[in-house]
Each structure stands twice: as structure tokens, then as C-alpha cells.
Amino acid sequence: MSNSEKEISELCVSCGMCCDGTLFARGFVRDEADRKVADDCGMVTLKIKETLFFNLPCHHFSTCCTIYDKPRPHTCSVYFCPPIKRHKSGEQSFEDTEQQVQTLQQQRDKLLKIASEFPELSQLNFRELKARLEEWAEDEEKVALYKHLFLILFIFDDVRKRYFTPTEKDKLVI
């Protein structure tokens, strides 16, 4: 494994935003055999419009994937976020990739830290907190009360859209 591949692997495994619910609410399951693997891992699988998924956040992610070297759903072993795909295709440096990942993580962590100061929000994971804030976005009183959270969520969404939304080119790189 080259230094670049090793750096990417370490960044990917330690990041986990695709596993912890930061980027996605569900992971794709490609077929029934893959569903069995997910079920064997203790993941809750479901079918939506004939497509199989498992719920996120994944309980096997705890600062890094705890089943990385074991059988896991196909998507877990082939997914790379857009910043990593851009690095793998030579479009950007590892330093830029690492900075993009860290920037999104910092915004997520900042949001969770401030939310932890509010008893009614302190026990929510990122996905639940984001959904709650989106639900409250039209309520002027809630927006005024939680204005710092709304601002950080806005910044988070901007960073996510800018760096983590796949382009057509990203979809071609595995």
C-alpha cells in the first residue's frame, strides 16, 4: 500500500461521517445476500420502494469502524466520499481532502457541543438534532432561542454541499 493509499485509508476509517449519520440516514444494501451480511452484523434493514437499506448511525462505528476487517455490507467497503474521490482521481491534494473532511467534522462537533448545553437537545445524535432543527426552522421563537445552532447548521450544510455533494465526475470514480 502506497503512502497516499495508507493516508486515505486512515482518514476514511477514522472519519466515519458516512457511518455515524452525519452524511446519510441509511446505507444501501444491494441484494438479499448483502442484506444477510447486514443482518448478521446486527444492522436493522428495511425496504423502501423495492430498495434495501440499513439504518444509520451504525452501531459498529465508535471513533472508527469496529468491524472494518470483518464481513460487512458491500457499500461499507466501496463507498468513498467526494473529497476522497477527487484525491484518488488526482484532482486535489491529500491536504485539501483532509482539510475538507476536518472542516465538516468540526462544524458537526461544534453543533453537537452547543446543543449539549440545552437539556432538551443534549441526548440527540447528529441526525436527530439536524432533523429537530429543520422541523423548528419556521418557528420564530425557536429560531431566536437556538440561533447559534441554526447558524452552525447553515455553515455545516454549506460545507457539506460544497465538498460532499457528488458531482457527475465523482460518480465515475470508485
Binned at pLDDT 50, 70 and 90, residue 174 comes out as very low
Cis, peptide link before residue 166, omega less than 30° from 0: no
The ranges assigned to domains in the chain are: 24-80, 87-166
Cβ 152 vs Cβ 108: under 8 Å: no
Neighbours of 90 (CB within 10 A): 8
Cβ 7 vs Cβ 94: under 8 Å: yes
Check residues 172 and 44 and name the one with the higher pLDDT: 44
Amino acid at 140: E
Q: What is the pLDDT of residues 8-47, one digit of tens each?
A: 888 988 888 999 989 999 999 999 999 999 999 999 899 9
Cβ 66 vs Cβ 17: under 8 Å: no
**Cross-strand pairs, 55:** 26
Longest CA pairwise span in the chain (Å) = 54
How far apart (Å, rounded) are the C-alpha atoms in residues 21 and 27? 10
* Angle formed at CA 156 by CA 155 and CA 161, multiple of 5 degrees: 100
Q: Which of 106, 94, 90, 85 is nearest to 155 (CA)?
A: 106
Binned at pLDDT 50, 70 and 90, residue 167 comes out as confident
The pLDDT value recorded for residue 3 is 57
Find the mean pLDDT for residues 141-169. Answer: 92
Binned at pLDDT 50, 70 and 90, residue 171 comes out as low
Cβ 71 vs Cβ 45: under 8 Å: no
